Amino acid sequence: MSIRVAVAGAAGRMGRTVVRAVHGDPDLTICGALDVACLGEDAGTLAGVGVVGIAISDSASSMLEDSRADVLVDFTRASAAYQNAVAALKLGVSPVIGTTGMPAEQVVELARLSEEHGTGCFMAPNFAIGAVLMMLFARQAARYMPEVEVIEFHGEQKIDAPSGTAMRTLDFIHEGRAARTAVRPEREEFKLPGARGGDSDGVRVHSVRLPGYVAHQECLFGGLGQTLTIRHDSTDRVSFMPGVLLACKQVRGLKRLVVGLEHLLEL
């Protein structure tokens, strides 16, 4: 039986890409669309796949009930994604959330609601399989090269900094270098405040926001007489779609909140 998928943020760039991907997957059916823009317009027409008979709505609860959705894919903003996920879980709909920047207490509440309603919920800071590999490789490298800095690049409209991917990568790096600490000078002089970026327990992280970027990140490791760079580039939003489609197909088998695409992959 086809899995019924609704899309939040369906009028946005990521939302339209998700609609196209779901429409093209034989195991999934696009059944609902949510956004505050382009109300009443056909989600398929906006996504460039032709008329699908799904009008964009601005009411999450009504749209989810009327569409009989199994899954809600959300690429909106953190505050909206949280409210959408709460509405979905209370209706037995499984959220697949790609929006980053959600406060920790809201993530905890989604975990509680997921278990309370026995409905799977999935979140990932990055749905690109290559990005997941980058994070895992960084964790392994940090065991042997604890001197590391992270630089992430996104388009000028991205709100949160560092990105969710960078924050997740920092978690992996700290796991890898737990038994070793990086060497830092006793005193650093900053001629310009913030010139060395943010500091996460000794790991510097830098956020770039410029037109032309989609999602890019590199982890720079330094050692005696050598450097190692682990970099991932998403040059098109379609890079996230295999992970999104995988999550749509697996989230209904979950009974709790799961964070991170690595948990759905056979790595």
One domain, residues 159 and 192: yes
Residue 8 three-state SS:
strand
One domain, residues 114 and 246: yes
Catalytic residue (choose from 23, 90, 154, 216) = 154
- 23 has catalytic annotation: no
What's the distance, Cα to Cα, between the start and end of the chain in Å?
28
Range of the domain at 52: 3-123+237-263
One domain, residues 242 and 167: no
For CA atoms 3, 76, 115, 87, give the dihedral sign: negative
One domain, residues 113 and 18: yes
Distance separating alpha carbons of residues 218 and 131, to the nearest angstrom: 10
One domain, residues 109 and 184: no
One domain, residues 72 and 94: yes
One domain, residues 207 and 220: yes
Catalytic residue (choose from 23, 90, 158, 191) = 158
- Residue 189 belongs to domain with CATH number: 3.30.360.10
One domain, residues 165 and 82: no
pLDDT in the model for residue 190:
80
One domain, residues 100 and 187: no
- Residue 255 belongs to domain with CATH number: 3.40.50.720
> Residue 242 — left, alpha, or beta (φ > 0 → left; ψ -120 to 50 → alpha)?
alpha
- 154 has catalytic annotation: yes
Angle between helices 164-176 and 129-142 (to 10 degrees): 30
pLDDT in the model for residue 165:
95
Which H/E stretch holds residue 232? strand 226-234
List C-alpha distances in Å: 55 to 28, 41, 91: 18, 5, 20
pLDDT in the model for residue 179:
65
pLDDT means over runs of 10, the chain (267 residues): 94 96 96 95 96 95 94 94 96 95 94 96 95 96 95 93 95 86 69 88 95 96 96 96 96 94 83
One domain, residues 164 and 242: no
pLDDT in the model for residue 267:
47
One domain, residues 75 and 133: no
Q: What confidence tens digit (pLDDT) does each residue in 14-28 have?
A: 999 999 999 999 999
| Domains of the chain: total | 2
pLDDT in the model for residue 241:
97
Distance separating alpha carbons of residues 127 and 262, to the nearest angstrom: 9
Give the residue from 37, 32, 29, 20 showing the smallest Cα distance to 2: 29
One domain, residues 82 and 98: yes
